[in-house]
Amino acid sequence: MPVDPQFHDVIDLYKNLPSLGELPLEVLRRPPAPSATVATAVDSVTDQTISGPGGDLKLRIYRCGAGDSLPLLLFIHGGGFVLGDLDTHDEMARILAANTGCVTVAVDYRLAPEHPFPAAVDDCFAALNWAATNAQELGADASRIAVVGDSAGGNLAAVMALKAREEGGPALCGQVLIYPAVDLTAPMLPAPDGKFYILSPETRKFFNGAYLREPTHASLPYVSPALADDLRGLPPALIITAEYDPLCAQGEALAARLKQMGIETELKRYDGAIHGFATFPVPMRDQALRQIADWLKSRYA
């Protein structure tokens, strides 16, 4: 099917933007104008700072649900390891918290190029361990922890699953990878119509160059989790891909490998969708986030 019409305005917007390398970082990271839409309601939102591997590490904690033993979710935003923060993905985190009835901890990890790999990995793992250790104070259940991330955040969520297994981190009951960048060595493939939407080989070069101190680091498992030799023992996975996303093939390849290694894995491709669709205020976003929430609730049960 062709690109869904609900994405035409977004595609037109991106067509008129300068290339990433032409803009200084402070411009790239400038927050968008305030949205006229009302933020999804949750019971409470609290910003908190903890001690992280590189100094102060900011978290945003969303609570939605009654009780003192709610499920716990670590949310990791996307942005190519260079862009994004707690505010750019605030609505996505709110919707997930509201739809799952859990305590959601969003992490404001350090960004490249100022802080290249492994800074983001270290920060996210510190946030995961903090959430598990402080689950009781959060009114959450440390035995019901899942990770969710989109794009680069999907990469980091998958890395959290690997790192927790390898280094004795919290046991995870699920990982949700939304159009994840899980193989930084893989070529960027055009959409079925031969075009690139949102992402391109040029954007991949920009993001990889910012994130990695050495190009050879792209093949490390904590950089490209799809390349890990052994995926056994990882938590169940839900992988969301988009038909018109250059990352579609690598997300689906990871799903196939997980299944081959005996990991309970669900793959859902959204036909007609482009990269980033779960952050755009369109009907397909709402559909995907409902699916994610339903899957998480089944894992938390």
What residues act catalytically?
Answer: 151, 245, 275
Q: Residue 187 and residue 201: Cα distance in Å, rounded?
A: 8
Type of residue found at 141: D
Please list the residues that pair with 62 across neighbouring strands: 45, 104
- Burial pattern 198-225, b for ≥16 Cβ within 10 A else e, equals bbbeebbebbbebbbeeeebbebbbbbb
Question: Strands 265-274 and 55-63: what pairing?
Answer: unpaired
Q: Are 196 and 11 in contact (CB under 8 A)?
A: no
Q: What angle do CA 89, 93, 99 make, to 5 degrees?
A: 145
With tokens 């350090």, the residue in question is 110
Question: Strands 237-244 and 265-274: what pairing?
Answer: parallel
